Structure 1
Amino acid sequence: MIINLISSPRNISTALMYSFAHRSDTKVMDEPFYGYYLNLTGADHPGKEEIIASQPKTVSEVRNWIQHTASQHEVVFVKNMAHHLINMNIDFLEDYRNVFLIRDPRQLITSFSKVIPNPQMTDIGVARQYELFEKLRETQSCPVIDSNEVLKNPDKVLRQLCESLDLTFEASMLRWKAGALPEDGVWAKYWYKNVHASTGFQKKNLNPVQLPPECEALYSAALPLYEKMAQDALKA
């Protein structure tokens, strides 16, 4: 089974990858389309050239990499960012079990803007995530998980997620040792400091955050898309 996580950035996607990495039956893959995305778009991300050099740069090569990994493991958990999955025929995703990880766009955009100022919709991928959600749920049930719901009660939400994927829940998904995973992408040094210090899902400060004024239009565009997906999110 290939579980394909389609996430927005500045979410708990890495923690979720760590959670699945500690199952007894699962191999994880960290954003295999990141190099493809950077090579295609030229987006200015930390460690850009190193990331491009570390991964296949075509869709077919990445697909083959995923399939080869899946041939060697019972379950493969692929962490993907929605905005990486562009300029491609997505029919192959129908062969995966697709899971959508969403986050309140006010929190998402505020966090993202601290790393990349004045982000655009193509940077945060919420519109692309919704587009993929609408397309893929035509042919399969696509679980939706909201990071805020996961952090309220990781045990309950992960049990529901496993049930929806026909997997047995394992308590090892809730706790792990601090430190890096061998499967971490080369970009981990720029983005994964908090996850490397963690030993499980960490509750975040959910107090209202101050959205940068220049991001108001982006927030207004992202909010209704998030709210539509949130209607289907598993509840804590």
Structure 2
Amino acid sequence: MTGHPIYFLWATPRSTSTAFEWMMRQRGDLSCFHEPFGMAWYQGPEARAPRVAPTDRQRPEATFEKIWIDIQEAAEKRPVFVKDMPHHTDHLWSDAFLERITHSFLIRDPAKVLASLHCSYKKAGMEDGFEAQEISFGPQQALFDLLRALGQTPPVLDSDDLLEDPDTMVRIYCKAIGIPFIRAALSWEPGARDDVLWYDGNDEIWHASLRDSDGLKPIPRKHVDPDDLPENLNLHYETFMRHYNSLYTHRLRPEMVSG
């Protein structure tokens, strides 16, 4: 298939990626997909997640092949933006798959990701409810390194940079992937976020901040000490930090803005 560009933002959980996706939805010039391969990974007939989805949450139609076809068919009509996580697709990384996509990455300090996960999983009653692969730091680096070996160096956006100066960093990001910057997309009305809600349906746990927000606005960054993390999460920190740092050196910087 040919068609319009397919833009992928490869993220980790709890990295402000859904807020970023919500901003991209406000543009009005993109067909947007929210973690479509995650649906197959958790709920589909070829599910690869470590936990079996409850029967009432299983989606027999959600095969990896069908989801990829749906994305490509959407790109026949207009440009497509997809937010997903690398571990959902690591078995699909053929040259043909990767070459059809315009790739970008959103990274976040692992201590902040793990602290946010701990809070969310605690609310959900699943404090030990993930495996390291699901946090996607390793798959993020693996995909980034693979793309560089294929001759690409995709743009990398750091969550702290984004939240310190959304206007500047979104402008730089848009230039990096080749789309116009639309400042109006950085603002929206608070309310339901059904378009980015799936799997457990628990908006109160996963998307409460996004639901109550009215845009991407500067937020002072706070330090999270990894030593304050619960032991089961702290064990992952150093490994995750190595993966994070490998992409951090390639991140987009505020001084790259022009025009």
**TM-score with structure 2 length normalisation?**
0.82
Counterpart for residue 199 of structure 1: 214
The answer to which structure, 1 or 2, has the higher relative contact order (CA under 8 A, 6+ apart) is 1
Cα contact 1:3–1:97 (8 A) shared by 2: yes
Q: Which has the larger radius of gyration?
A: 2
Aligned partner of 2:28 among 24, 33, 36: 24
**In the alignment, does 2:179 pair up with 1:161?**
no
Runs of 4 or more off by more than 4 Å in structure 1?
A: 47-51
Gaps of at least 5 residues in structure 2 are: 255-259
**Identical aligned residues as a percent:** 27
Q: Distance in 1 between matches of 2:72 and 2:82?
A: 11
Counterpart for residue 90 of structure 2: 86
Gaps of at least 5 residues in structure 1 are: none
Aligned partner of 1:139 among 151, 161, 181: 151
**In the alignment, does 2:113 pair up with 1:108?**
yes
Residue 86 of structure 1 and its aligned partner are, at CA, apart by 3.1
Matched ranges for 1:55-94 at <5 A:
56-73=61-78, 75-91=79-95, 92-94=97-99
Aligned residues: 233
- Sort the Cα spacing of 1:217 and 1:224 in 2 relative to 1 into closer, same or farther, 3 A: same
**TM-score with structure 1 length normalisation?**
0.89
Structural RMSD (CA):
2.2
Residue 206 of structure 1 and its aligned partner are, at CA, apart by 1.3
Which shifted more, 149-158 or 63-72?
63-72
- Sort the Cα spacing of 1:178 and 1:160 in 2 relative to 1 into closer, same or farther, 3 A: same
- Sort the Cα spacing of 1:50 and 1:185 in 2 relative to 1 into closer, same or farther, 3 A: farther
